[in-house]
Amino acid sequence: MIKEDNKQFPKPSEDEFTEEPAADTGKEGFHIRFLIAGIIFGIVFTKAEVISWFRIQEMFRLQSFHMYGVIGSAVVVGMISIWLIKKFHIKTISGERIEIQPKKFNKGQIFGGLIFGLGWALTGACPGPLFAQIGTGATVIVITLLSAIAGTWVYGRFRGELPH
């Protein structure tokens, strides 16, 4: 029965998660650096007011350059970083070769992109800022987050019937 389900929902090629057995990453110490990276990122998000509903409205109403400056300069720094990593074959701190999966095009980027854009302007938050907003004390955003989790679940449930 489960195997038949799998045939009805073929794994799209853009699917980045596989069912390979987990690598030896069970030790807590391995993960703590990502918690710290998240904390730094959450502080920057909040201090830059990227998590502000007002900033998102200003962006979409073309009333302020702030968000364009943040995203634009982030992309420029990210681009230079990846270029340097590739050019000098820089490895991870544990000596692995850095590999970045290419993004494959499908219609989901159009339909899903438009749908997410609507939600972004209404809630004033993309997924990252939702977590930071709750941290700043806006407890009701827990409901928005749960609703976003529900949205992800519904997508997973019906993805076989959606155009991709």
Partner 1 sequence: MLEFIKQPWPWYVAGPIIGLIVPALLLLGNKPFGISSSLRHICAACIPSGIPFFRYNWKKERWNLLFVLGIFFGGMIAAYFLTDPGPVKIAPQLATDLAKQGITDYHNLVPADLFNWHSLLTARGAILMIAGGFLVGFGTRYAGGCTSGHAIMGLSNLQWPSLVATICFMIGGFLAANVLLPWILSL
CB of 86 to partner 1, least distance (A): 9
161 contributes a contact to partner 1 by CB under 8 A: no
Could you give the CA distance from residue 120 to residue 56 in angstroms, rounded to a whole number? 8
CB of 7 to partner 1, least distance (A): 10
Helix, strand, or coil (residue 155) = helix
> Which of 13, 88, 89, 152 forms a contact with partner 1 (CB under 8 A)?
152
Helix, strand, or coil (residue 55) = helix
Taking CA atoms, 4 is separated from 1, 8, 9, 10, 30, in Å, by 5, 7, 9, 10, 38
Count residues binding partner 1 (CB under 8 A).
132
130 contributes a contact to partner 1 by CB under 8 A: yes
Residues 74-113 that bind partner 1 (CB under 8 A): 74-79, 81-82, 84-85, 90, 92-94, 96, 98-106, 108-113
The three state secondary structure string of 81-150 is HHHHHHHCCCECCCCCECCCCCCCCCCHHHHHHHHHHHHHHHHCCCHHHHHHHHHCCCCCHHHHHHHHHH
CB of 48 to partner 1, least distance (A): 3
CB of 14 to partner 1, least distance (A): 6
Residues 16-75 that bind partner 1 (CB under 8 A): 16-23, 25, 30-61, 63-75
